[in-house]
Amino acid sequence: MIEIENVHKSFGSLKVLKGIDLTVAKGEVVSVIGGSGSGKSTLLTCINGLEPVDSGRILVEGVEVHARSTDLNKLRRKIGIVFQQFNAFPHLTVLENVTLAPRKVKGMSKREAEEIAVKQLDHVGLGDKKSVYPSRLSGGQQQRMAIARALAMSPGYMLFDEVTSALDPQLVGEVLDTLKLLADDGMTMICVTHEMGFARDVSDRVAFFDQGVMAEIGPPEQIFGDAKNEATRKFLSSVR
């Protein structure tokens, strides 16, 4: 379970998160929507400790992410994150990209790590690209590789930060299909997304962020069919 309690976060004088409360249960898929600058992505980077918070706390399976005593490198094994920008390690083949963390962080043998990597690459449909370098992959393939790389650590939670935003429109589908597969497998996911169709079809709950505040959260039918909040309605009518 991920518990976010009254989290505040600023960059200099810019308040990005203004008291966020959110609990994500095991197996739940929560989509976070909202305009740019609403704090959606910052929340994800706070959840796995890439950014510190100013106040409030975030607990992942009861472990407080920003507590001094927390070993972040250990905690991050449980939380996979995929970013908007493609960030393959260009000097490693696809297979090596995926086996790096299991080998170095979990201390797995090369064979063990490769078994897992091959399974994950097959899962995201890149089974035939194992020995190529990332530069030979399309954007969509690179994103799927990043997903396989995160999954190879067998995380309990996956965070997706606008993973389709930098893709050509015709490549968006293949990545969303991969996310749907994951959701069907019962993975706990928080997806920051601009893909309203995906948010509606796959999520258990949809949260709307507006200027650092979670303005509304609810089941997709309610958010897309009968939003209570004026800002939510306005946002949805602008993106439709």
Binding site for other proteins (CB under 8 A): 48, 50, 73-74, 76-77, 79-81, 83, 85, 87-91, 100-101, 104-105, 133, 135, 146, 149-150, 153
CB of 9 to other proteins, least distance (A): 16
CB of 50 to other proteins, least distance (A): 6
And the tokens for 13? 């004088």
Nearest residue (CB) to other proteins, 87 versus 211: 87
Measured distance CA(18)–CA(125) in Å, rounded: 40
Nearest residue (CB) to other proteins, 39 versus 80: 80
DSSP β-ladder status, 188-192 and 79-82: unpaired
Measured distance CA(76)–CA(9) in Å, rounded: 20
CB of 107 to other proteins, least distance (A): 11
| Sequence-ordered list of residues with C-beta below 8 angstroms from that of 11, at least 6 positions apart, any chain | none
Instruction: Identify whether the C-beta of residue 32 lies closer than 8 Å to the C-beta of residue 43.
Output: yes
Nearest residue (CB) to other proteins, 36 versus 131: 131
CB of 13 to other proteins, least distance (A): 20
CB of 60 to other proteins, least distance (A): 13
Nearest residue (CB) to other proteins, 105 versus 239: 105
Nearest residue (CB) to other proteins, 51 versus 177: 51
CB of 25 to other proteins, least distance (A): 23
Give which of 167, 155, 233, 225 is closest to 195, Cα–Cα.
167
Nearest residue (CB) to other proteins, 34 versus 102: 102
Q: Convert 88-104 to b/e letters by CB count within 10 Å (16 or more is b).
A: beeeebbbbbbbbbbbe
Q: How many CB atoms lie within 10 A of CB 197?
A: 11
| 165 alpha-carbon distance from chain centroid | 13
